[in-house]
Structure 1
């Protein structure tokens, strides 16, 4: 009888709301534990010039060991693939561009999401098949907002249609070099993805697919039996030729 009474009371009062998912740090501020580098021209895990280091509680993209940039695009992958989540962090550009970069690389970095596993990348592959929350600073040759979307080997639906552009600009204001900026990314179970800069939504898109025209994506499509839909993957911090720092990196799982 007591069981029936408790059940009836639960129906009348309504079930308790599910607790809010907790934010968890995925960078301890002291080491690169849980993170793996992939530098163009090198095997997974190799970073001979110490591109990714920890300094003053931040992950720093350092070019202290470089004389010039010779195509060594770098990505620092977190250990586990993700499907539905929020990630937030702070970043700031500092210092000068490395000699040898192309114009578009100036004050340019990013957070990759839905990325292929690092061990599936070719040794000389520049970028993982992924989406990129592009981070830009000013001054740069072409002043552009931060928090944009770039699509190496992928496509998305933007404003109701599949958008073929490699980069889609956000509505963020320009962000100067040297300023700590708050960035956040939300990936919902529905597949809708939103970029936030300093707490404001600046870009929204959905329905991520592998691009059948991309040479890097073709092996992934074949491995998926021809399926194009992309619902999960790894996150990675990017090095593209300008020093940048990332700190206070936290994850909230929504699965």
Structure 2
């Protein structure tokens, strides 16, 4: 009976999605970087410094094989459409070795940023992107290191009605020590609710992403008239010094009215 009920609930969910005309769409074509914009710290917009972002065998790859040293070239590649209510899913894996000259904390560290300002508005030398991050981490072979965490740069979130000002909050995911593919899904309902899933399991929930007026970059955005409560923006994949591969990057637009 439990199996029948589970199947019934799943079918109802599928029918609801179809009724609203919602379908998963692939937003990375596996051939080139069309539809994506590159911003690397210290470089002009779309200057793909040392071929950091590239397409290899149908995967979107962050590579450092042309670097001698990292030189704080923190980078992001942005999907070219502003989003508010959506699900994003992808698979990722860390490969190879971290580039020389990179910070220790960036070992097997990447992420998906969302509710970001547009890449063309980011100052040339700005390292950190003001946004919410679904953080992606890999293990070192020994210590627990969950993935699918939330990190906030120039922002805060709320959990259980409480304002959270810590930079990162760990999820309940397991640690993935090797180079296996891991599935991430983030479900974003504007400013109201955000859910992280790893390999199909919910590992973190929070709400009300908002700008932190004590951060100079966020304070500048507030001065420009950007609302404190973040309900929309751009998504971006991070390049933080460790080679990482992404594949099967898909988007589902949720038909929800702002509340």
TM-score (structure 2 length as normaliser): 0.89
* Larger CA deviation: 151-160 vs 187-196: 187-196
Deviation (angstroms), 1:61: 0.2
1:228 aligns with 2:228: yes
Partner of 1:146: 147
**CA–CA distance in structure 2, aligned partners of residues 159 and 42 of structure 1:** 40
Size of the aligned set, in residue pairs, is 239
Deviation (angstroms), 1:216: 0.9
**CA–CA distance in structure 2, aligned partners of residues 90 and 25 of structure 1:** 13
Matches within 5 A, 1:171-186: 171-186=172-187
8 A Cα contact 1:37 1:47, kept in partner: yes
Partner of 1:33: 34
TM-score (structure 1 length as normaliser): 0.90
Partner deviation per Cα, 1:206-254 (whole Å, 9 max, x = no partner): 01111100111112111126x3111001000000010000000000001
Deviation (angstroms), 1:127: 1.9
Deviation (angstroms), 1:192: 0.1
RMSD of aligned alpha carbons: 1.6
Give the number of the structure whose residues are more often helix, by fraction: 2
SS at match of 2:50: coil
**CA–CA distance in structure 2, aligned partners of residues 89 and 134 of structure 1:** 13
Partner deviation per Cα, 1:122-151 (whole Å, 9 max, x = no partner): 111112110111000011796420000110
Moved over 6 A (4+): none
Q: Where does structure 1 lack aligned partners over 5 or more consecutive residues?
A: 1-15
**CA–CA distance in structure 2, aligned partners of residues 189 and 150 of structure 1:** 17
Partner of 2:219: 218
* Larger CA deviation: 49-58 vs 18-27: 18-27
8 A Cα contact 1:106 1:140, kept in partner: no
Partner of 2:88: 87
8 A Cα contact 2:191 2:229, kept in partner: no
8 A Cα contact 1:39 1:73, kept in partner: yes
SS at match of 1:49: helix
**CA–CA distance in structure 1, aligned partners of residues 142 and 221 of structure 2:** 35
Matches within 5 A, 1:1-255: 18-19=19-20, 21-139=22-140, 143-189=144-190, 191-224=192-225, 227-255=227-255
